[in-house]
Structure 1
Amino acid sequence: MDENDIRGLIAEVRQGTLSRRSFMRTLAAAGITAPIASQILLWNDVAMANATLAYKPTKAGGGGPLRMLVWQAPTLLNPHFALGTKDQVASRIFFEPLAGWDKEGNLIPCLAAEIPTKANGGLSADGTCVIWKLKQGVRWHDGKPFTADDVVFTWTYAADLATAAYTTGSYKDIIVEKIDDHTIKVIFKAPTPFWADPFVGSVGQILPKHHFGDYAGAKSRDAPGNLKPVGTGPYKFVEFKPGDLLRAERNPDYHVKNQPYFDTFDIKGGGDAVSAARAVLQTGEYDYAWNLLVEDEILKRMETGGKGKVEYTTAGGIEFIILNTTDPWTEVDGERSNARTKHPTLSDPAVRRALNLLIDREGIQKFIYGRAAVATASFVNQPPQFKSSKLKYEFNIEKANKILDEAGWKVGADGIRTRDGKQLKYVFQTSINAPRQKAQAIIKQACQKAGIEIELKSVTASVFFSSDVGNPDTYSKFYCDMEMYNATQPQPDPERFLNQCVSWEIASKDNKWLGRNVSRWSDPEADKAYKAAQNELDPVKRAALLIKVDEIFCEANIFLPLLSRYIVGGAVDGLMTDISGWDVTTWNIASWYRNT
């Protein structure tokens, strides 16, 4: 069997005329082993997911209902407070940015008439300003016109520290001027190579001034629009039950011709990833399941003879562990894990290094995540030019024991290492999800062999990823010793993603724990490299600076990267989706349709 034969079989799988099981059997008969055949199918799945969607409907509406499962459950609908991806997914069906990122990392106009370039006069030669021309004729869901005033207002709203928006970092250091009703100018304080951050993608969604103008600053949390949005998007708000159900209906005045196809759109929350996968892949009760963090073998069984398929999209997501170098058990000024405190044992670099050696990344990938992830030691993995070639991982219990011995941590009668009366005992938390609990168990077992006791804690996902300032169990509060979750890189440039590593983004009570630096750890060299990258116009030099930031946090073992993850979703047969690894799942929801 040659390459052309295999390509022909893949084409039949794509067309639905050959089942995946028959494909595997055919290759096995030709002497191609099951693991290689599975990898070929994965490449096919990723290629299909990364193909540009050709929109075929010739009129808006008529598609009936679209039903999505977001099992972690959205809890608010203001995109500038959407600390968790689940809330960004829900917000994006109502609110829109000036432009979004497609799956190939290209900027696509949304509320903008065009993408700024030097050729059309939108980009200055010195990198200090951008002119955006806005699409005309766009109306908010209440009929009011969308204008430059709304864009300027969104800037002042997000930039105001009293608003405590999670997007503040994208807006606080710029100036936005209105040129006319459909043109705005963004001015940067210095040459800015990555200008496509404010008003773009997940951080760029525009708010209506006439709905939020009275609720800026300290009043921001009281805005009715936080739960009853009025946007410009393809769907209009109908009903929202936080943590449970979101209902929307087609916007008949949407500004894109022949879109959206579906008449109604429901997002159902709750449950878990396994039940969400089953409801799409096996029963077809729902059309799309978001974030299928499910063991790969379970997904394979569901796909066989079911009613849907798993989709894999290349992305910059990273499953990782953060080690807390602050004290999560002592309260200072009304908050634990205060940046001015010091962790009793994790402040020791030797302990952090040993913990990194006690993670069996390849085992976790092979036996739990399978097709959905690749083991890694780097926090940034995509695009390839931003990935460190220096960072390496190793699973070595013997070496971890030796490091702890040399650092003076002695194994006591109870089997737990102790030094100066302090024991290596830690609370390790993550969200409730079977793959994460299994990964926790694998890590705990290895730690026991090195004299480290781990107490596992699992938090309901809707709580763990909540921005509720009164909840002590959110990942951003980090009231434990170590925690694990997936960080999503929101755009193909990692600059904003790496602001999790800078001192001015430390999460605290003062910023309602919306600061991006959840670790609370900082390094002057990381700050320096990050600031330099923000103004470096040479792309090679800039990539090197951002890689340095990544390496500082990983080599200090503050970040313990585990897996570079694909975006994994489940789609019912016939549903045509457009998923981007550089934007939220619903970034182009108006283009989805059913191929019947």
Structure 2
Amino acid sequence: MTLKTLLLGAVATGALAPAAFAERGEDGHVNIIYWQAPSIMTPYLSSGTKDIEASSLVLEPLGRYTETGELVPYLAEEIPTVENGGVSEDLKSITWKLKEGLLWSDGSPVTSADVKFTADYCMDPEGGCAQLAKFDHIASIDTPDDLTVVVNFDEAMPNPYGPFMGGQSPILQKAQFESCTGAAASTCTEANFNPIGTGPFVVDEFKPNDVISLSANPNYRDPAKPAFATATLKGGGDAEAAARAVLQTGEFDYAWNLQLAPDVLASMAEGGQGTPVSAFGTLVERLEMNMTDPSPDLPEGERSTVAHPHPILSDFNVRKALSMAIDRGLLTEIGYGQAGRPTCNLVPAPALYASDNEECLTQDLEGAKALLEEAGWTDSDGDGVREKDGMKLSLLYQTSTNAVRQDFQALIKDWWNQIGVETELRNVDSSVFFGGDPGSPDTFQKFYADVEMYANNFDGTDPQSYLQMYRCGNEPKPSSQWQGENINRFCNEEYDALLDELAKTGELSKRGEIAKQLNDIITKETMTIVPLVDRGRVSAHSNTLGGVVLNTWDSELWNAADWYRIDG
């Protein structure tokens, strides 16, 4: 055992502070692999997890969530609360205090103007911000001095931690992005690929959908961090290759989102080079039902927009039958084993917010057939495909390219065929599917299909911002450069009214009740979202990489500044 390893052990036990011996960059290079390659380095122009997480190496929020869901300050001095005076008694404002002496990676000071600008940037109605739900109910933002930011809400906000908390809502440098607002946001390639940040690393070279080369931020606030002088985040390939690169060959130090069959992952772990890590959070693999018409017969700019309701999936009975035909238990067993749980909920955790909705857990093929028959979808010509009013019950079902997802597609197609639904399958390279490029026809935001499958989750332990994604008007559309969080174009007045009630409700038990109602409207009463599996997050790190703490409530790279090399 080397002296450094002994010292690191002392640090872990609190016997010795890292600053006593650590030096920025002394551990050389770290290799990270995300088989879904990042396409952009700002979460404000992408809902893709791979882009949000890559960005978190460079861009930071005022506060983050720990692996236990606790709120901790990052750029802020402390987390504002009513008790410390940071949140007003009437819950209509929150005051953040920046740490003194913070510098951007270019050496310029971080000020309250940058924080205010970030909110203005996202809230610009022409900008198409992918994280707009984080800024719901903001009335104004004041900056009384360079270190103080006061966020004023238009009503009491018992949970005022939407803006500037977590990896989905970091601070942008005003000087770099001030000419990139509104419709110009997506055109600012240099800023979007090479943001100036406060995080432990800076971008040296960004190759979209391929690789990011980074180096230690010379102005990072802790002079002893990061331990690594340089880093590479490699994208592309598939989950199996990523797992092999850490667990068997040792080429990489960290592999994200190992969406593999449990037996495959267990076999790889025997390679002895690395360690799988897993934890449950709020990641749900689900089907999104397109409530708008994606037909290529419509003019470009009108496909998948609210001007054209879906000719088949607007029928609730069809959506319900599609859900009834699915065996979620079998999907979970085949795809995730103990790292998954069948679910009917969009919000599976924490327990306070998780509905007891379990109706979907029992597959009912005969019931699905009967429901379609009663709704007038019949197979009149005996070809095995139902039709109604001259329209075939035929659907295009898309997802990203991944072995587990293609297994799911095959099984679901078979079940749907059994109930008389003709199903065409399509899979898209994950870097493109989750990339958010407004010019691509293949992004999950544009949704040029009838049904699509993916997984998503939310920062922290409170689902308010997550549920706000499905507010009327928050759908991706041409006027927002196809950005937006309401992916299936859902709109329901009762739902929006409950969102407003949740925003002003402080008592936790009542917040839980409202969140469950919102969950049930989407997943049970309307079935515009069909949850499949509550997925545990599974990643892996090399046996020589220390400091890794898997976090399902924030970015997985949330504490990359604390990573270090363990000597063999």
On whether the aligned pair clears a TM of 0.5, the verdict is: yes
The CA distance in 2 between the partners of 1:419 and 1:170, in whole Å, is 42
The CA distance in 1 between the partners of 2:449 and 2:213, in whole Å, is 36
Which residue does the alignment assign to 1:219?
184
Q: What is the one-letter code of the residue matched to 2:496?
A: D
Which residue does the alignment assign to 1:566?
536
Which residue does the alignment assign to 1:290?
256
Deviation at 1:136, TM superposition (A): 0.8
User: For residues 348 and 221 of structure 1, do their structure 2 counterparts lie closer, same or farther at Cα, with a shift above 3 Å needed?
Assistant: closer
Are positions 1:137 and 2:101 aligned together?
Answer: yes
TM-score (normalizing by structure 1): 0.89
Q: How does 1:116-155 map to 2 (within 5 A)?
A: 116-155=80-119
Deviation at 1:300, TM superposition (A): 0.4
Aligned to 1:501, the other structure's residue is in SS state coil
Which residue does the alignment assign to 1:18?
none
Deviation at 1:559, TM superposition (A): 0.8
Deviation at 1:221, TM superposition (A): 2.5
**Structure 1 residues 549-570: Cα deviation after superposition (integer angstroms, max 9, x where no partner):** 1101111221110011111111
Deviation at 1:257, TM superposition (A): 5.1
The CA distance in 2 between the partners of 1:222 and 1:442, in whole Å, is 41
Which of the residues 353, 373, 385 maps onto 1:405? 373
Give the unaligned 5+ runs of structure 2.
Answer: 1-11
Aligned to 2:461, the other structure's residue is in SS state coil
Are positions 1:179 and 2:149 aligned together?
Answer: no
Aligned to 1:226, the other structure's residue is in SS state helix
Deviation at 1:213, TM superposition (A): 1.8
Q: How does 1:264-413 map to 2 (within 5 A)?
A: 264-329=230-295, 330-331=297-298, 334-393=301-360, 394-411=362-379, 412-413=381-382
Are positions 1:588 and 2:559 aligned together?
Answer: yes
Contact 1:326 1:520 in 2 (8 A): yes
Q: What is the one-letter code of the residue matched to 1:64?
A: G
Aligned to 2:121, the other structure's residue is in SS state helix
Deviation at 1:392, TM superposition (A): 2.5
Give the unaligned 5+ runs of structure 1.
Answer: 1-51
The CA distance in 1 between the partners of 2:506 and 2:299, in whole Å, is 42
The CA distance in 2 between the partners of 1:594 and 1:451, in whole Å, is 56
User: For residues 220 and 155 of structure 1, do their structure 2 counterparts lie closer, same or farther at Cα, with a shift above 3 Å needed?
Assistant: same
The CA distance in 2 between the partners of 1:539 and 1:172, in whole Å, is 20
The CA distance in 1 between the partners of 2:204 and 2:160, in whole Å, is 35
Which residue does the alignment assign to 1:525?
494
The CA distance in 2 between the partners of 1:235 and 1:580, in whole Å, is 19
Contact 1:98 1:205 in 2 (8 A): yes
The CA distance in 1 between the partners of 2:404 and 2:81, in whole Å, is 44
Which residue does the alignment assign to 1:77?
41
Aligned to 2:424, the other structure's residue is in SS state strand
Aligned to 2:214, the other structure's residue is in SS state strand
Which of the residues 205, 208, 213 maps onto 1:242? 208
Which residue does the alignment assign to 1:436?
405
The CA distance in 2 between the partners of 1:227 and 1:567, in whole Å, is 27
Contact 1:161 1:168 in 2 (8 A): no
Which residue does the alignment assign to 2:387?
418
The CA distance in 1 between the partners of 2:218 and 2:305, in whole Å, is 49
Deviation at 1:518, TM superposition (A): 0.9
Deviation at 1:343, TM superposition (A): 1.9
The CA distance in 1 between the partners of 2:301 and 2:184, in whole Å, is 22
Are positions 1:578 and 2:552 aligned together?
Answer: no
Which residue does the alignment assign to 2:507?
538
The CA distance in 2 between the partners of 1:419 and 1:80, in whole Å, is 42
Which residue does the alignment assign to 2:171?
206
Aligned to 1:340, the other structure's residue is in SS state coil
Aligned to 2:329, the other structure's residue is in SS state helix
Provide the identity percentage. 38
Q: What is the one-letter code of the residue matched to 2:500?
A: K
Deviation at 1:166, TM superposition (A): 1.1
Number of equivalenced pairs: 545
Contact 1:578 1:591 in 2 (8 A): no
Say what the alpha-carbon RMSD is for the aligned residues.
1.7
Contact 1:197 1:203 in 2 (8 A): no
Higher mean Cα deviation, 423-432 or 222-231? Answer: 222-231
Contact 2:126 2:479 in 1 (8 A): no
Which residue does the alignment assign to 1:17?
none
Which of the residues 257, 260, 266 maps onto 2:226? 260
**Structure 1 residues 308-362: Cα deviation after superposition (integer angstroms, max 9, x where no partner):** 1211022111100011232111525723112122222222221111110111110
**Structure 1 residues 14-71: Cα deviation after superposition (integer angstroms, max 9, x where no partner):** xxxxxxxxxxxxxxxxxxxxxxxxxxxxxxxxxxxxxx99897442331111110011
Deviation at 1:172, TM superposition (A): 5.9
Contact 1:160 1:168 in 2 (8 A): no
The CA distance in 2 between the partners of 1:530 and 1:429, in whole Å, is 30
Aligned to 1:80, the other structure's residue is in SS state helix
Aligned to 2:500, the other structure's residue is in SS state helix
Q: What is the one-letter code of the residue matched to 2:493?
A: P
Q: What is the one-letter code of the residue matched to 2:242?
A: A
Deviation at 1:173, TM superposition (A): 3.5
Q: What is the one-letter code of the residue matched to 2:488?
A: S
Which of the residues 60, 69, 88 maps onto 1:105? 69
Q: What is the one-letter code of the residue matched to 2:540?
A: G
Deviation at 1:391, TM superposition (A): 4.1
**Structure 1 residues 95-116: Cα deviation after superposition (integer angstroms, max 9, x where no partner):** 1110011111111111001111
Contact 2:183 2:481 in 1 (8 A): no
Q: What is the one-letter code of the residue matched to 2:119?
A: W
Which residue does the alignment assign to 1:467?
436
Contact 1:318 1:486 in 2 (8 A): yes
